[in-house]
Amino acid sequence: MNEASHHVVVVGAGFGGLEFTRALSGVPVRITMIDKRNHHLFQPLLYQVATTALATSEVAWPIRHLLRKRKDVTTLLANVNGVDRAGRRVLLDDGSAVAYDTLVLATGARHAYFGHDEWEPFAPGLKTLEDATTIRRRILMAFEQAERETDPEKRKAFLTLAIVGGGPTGVELAGTIAELARDTLRGEFRNIDTRQTRVVLIEAGDRILANFAPELSDYARKALERLGVEVELGHAVTRCDAEGVVFGDTVLPARTILWAAGVAASPAAEWLGAAADRAGRVLVEPDLTVPGSPEIFVIGDAAHVLRPDGKPVPGVAPAAKQAGWHVAATIKARLAGDTSPRPFRYKHDGDLATIGKRAAAIDFGWIKLTGWPAWWLWGIAHIYFLIGFRNRLAVSLSWLWIYVTGQRSARLITQGDNDKG
């Protein structure tokens, strides 16, 4: 590699892309960061924006601000629509291209509907700020429409919210929505009692939080049920439309459906013409490079790489950050003349999920925690990873206010959209 002129292009300013860029600080390369949005998003707390606990500015930060002190980094707001592997160029949707010597694709994931993309207008997923504000609007509008509805059955449908998928996002959404209905909004309406709201969590498997130990899954289910959430297990959803959702033999009239059941990778594999798994993740080499193109790395949710036990590395923030650091170390070694393969070794730090404002489940393998101690540890872990003192302080104060008063400050209905129902 020619140190003076080596150009690294990073596509995606998520956890993996930012960690990679930070780890290359001080290395004699030029870096171009490309993202289709101008902000980095702290996705683990996105559901709190959707459920009125946090404002958008508390979970997202301008990419240019985060990289303002890095004179070696150029940031571009652009949409990537392809990669010219032979010509070593990233292709943009305006017809231009950015040449690279090394390319790092950290393009994340999107929600997947298992072949039923027609369900998306009725059951939005949660991956972006736009998704979060759309979901927030639908949740709050459900109560507003129920307040005006005079037909008992239609009102009941407005006051029924279904969440599809019992992973951490589904569990966190269900618990927070239940508290919103039974605590925050209580007494604010005249024609409805928000405590009569039905929150139904639908999971196709035999337990929620399937990646956690069985006893923690059982704890989470019981904690949700104490909040009033109805947990439906063992039934896959077979229909979503403006009237409701069908699972098993049950037809559930619900005017608000939220999707937390599956994810698919970004189009990175299509851009590269590379082999992918069923979720669209690029089947990378053990060192995270693309087969046949050692100058291209794929990290985070866009990559399929196996752990020593044969299981795929999970699509979580710590995995993306570890991959970003690993690729940066590999490039440093290459610059120093060491081109030997460096297999990626993922260290799993544990699984965390919160259930409302006073309970959580944490599985570190060697120790398992539940209840309010787990909730406080979950909160500390998330605040620690937030970027900047102001954001840590803002989130801490918001959570403290909710914990003490039960009130959520971000209950504004904004942005009109073409909501179905």
Give per-residue pLDDT as tens, 93-115: 999 999 999 999 999 998 899 99
Element (H, E) at 15: helix 15-23
Q: In the structure encoding, which two tokens stand for residue 131, read together? A: 């998704």
Sorted by sequence, the CB contacts under 8 Å of residue 397 that are 6+ apart come out as none
- pLDDT at site 2: 46
- pLDDT at site 404: 67
Which residues on adjacent β-strands are paired with residue 206?
Answer: none
Q: Where are the beta strands (DSSP E) in 116-196?
A: 160-164
Q: How far is 89 from 83, CA to CA, in rounded Å?
A: 6
Helix (H) and strand (E) counts for the chain?
11, 25
Element (H, E) at 146: helix 129-148
Interval 300-317: pLDDT, tens: 999 999 988 888 999 999
Give the sign of the dihedral formed by CA 281, CA 354, CA 124, CA 44: negative
Which residues on adjacent β-strands are paired with residue 98?
Answer: 90
Q: In the structure encoding, which two tokens stand for residue 75, read together? A: 């940031």
Q: Residues 109, 19: contact at Cβ < 8 Å?
A: no
Q: In the structure encoding, which two tokens stand for residue 282, read together? A: 């690029």
- pLDDT at site 417: 54
- pLDDT at site 44: 94
- pLDDT at site 262: 83
> Identical fold at 7-36+78-111+263-336 and 117-261?
yes
Burial class (CB in 10 A: 0-12, 13-18, 19+), 339: exposed
Give the sign of the dihedral formed by CA 27, CA 314, CA 51, CA 246: positive
Architecture of 7-36+78-111+263-336 per CATH?
Answer: 3-Layer(bba) Sandwich (3.50)
- pLDDT at site 155: 98
- pLDDT at site 25: 95
User: What is residue 421's DSSP assignment?
Assistant: -
117-261 domain in CATH 3.50.50.100? yes
3-state secondary structure 297-362: EECHHHEECECCCCCECCCCHHHHHHHHHHHHHHHHHHHCCCCCCCCCCCCCCCEEEEECCCEEEE
Q: Which segments in the chain show pLDDT lower than 70? A: 1-4, 404, 409-410, 415-421
Q: Which amino acid is at 409?
A: S
Q: How far is 43 from 317, CA to CA, in rounded Å?
A: 8
Q: How far is 242 from 135, CA to CA, in rounded Å?
A: 15
Q: How far is 45 from 54, CA to CA, in rounded Å?
A: 8
Q: In the structure encoding, which two tokens stand for residue 307, read together? A: 């752990």
Sorted by sequence, the CB contacts under 8 Å of residue 18 that are 6+ apart come out as 40, 66, 324
Residues marked as catalytic: 172
The domain locations on the chain are 7-36+78-111+263-336, 117-261
